[in-house]
Amino acid sequence: MNKNKKIESFLDHFPPKVAEYCFNLWNELSFEFIVSKKRDSKLGDFRFAPNKGFQITVNHNLNPYAFLVTYLHEVAHLITYQKHKNAVNPHGQEWKDAFLEVFDPLLDPELLPSDVVKVLKAYLLNPVATSNGYTPLVEVLKKYDPAEEAVLLLFNLPEGTIFQLKNLRLQKGKLRRTRYICQEVHTGKLYLVAKNAHVQLIEMQA
């Protein structure tokens, strides 16, 4: 595949004005980049194997801005690993510094929407292990999801609401730190559900 073809494939997933920057990171850091199927457990990951080298994956179903955040999150892991190997915490200060450094050239309203830039500047001062753990970022990124894929976030539902999560029908209860205590409607079993979980509202019959 020639360079132009590769850049075109990056344009399919990244915001157009930053796609070449993301392509150049891939070109310079020499890692295998895989656009993965949707995974409920993670948005992306970084791996290193002595016989295979570096690999970064990002879920295909993310909107361009969420895809960008996840991609650069994983690139920051790669940069941190190159400098420190496994001698530092995976989401410690070294990773946070790398994440800000690699994202900083893109924090410009000329390149990304101003609302996204504003939230990212705050988030990158002390980023958490997953972007889903920072509610303002979750909310601003969700604004750019295609309408037909828009989903509800659990924390937006009133207490007592019945909702669907995978194959479970649950009722929202009290918040415990970052998770809600939810009760399965049929069995009464209790589950702790992340406040930013993507859920479906169930229309109750009158």
Sheet arrangement for strand 53-59: 32-36, 53-59, 44-49
pTM: 0.73
Per-residue pLDDT of the chain (206 residues; tens, 9 = 90+): 455 556 667 778 999 999 999 999 999 999 999 999 988 889 999 999 888 899 999 999 999 999 999 999 999 999 999 999 989 999 999 999 999 999 999 999 999 999 999 999 999 999 988 888 899 999 999 999 886 555 688 988 999 999 998 889 999 999 998 899 999 999 999 999 988 888 888 765 43
Burial class (CB in 10 A: 0-12, 13-18, 19+), 130: middle
Choices 2.40.50, 2.30.30, 2.60.40, 3.40.190: CATH for 152-201: 2.30.30
DSSP lists the bridge partners of residue 116 as: none
Contact 190, 183 (CB under 8 A): yes
Q: Hey, what are 151's tokens? A: 């989903």
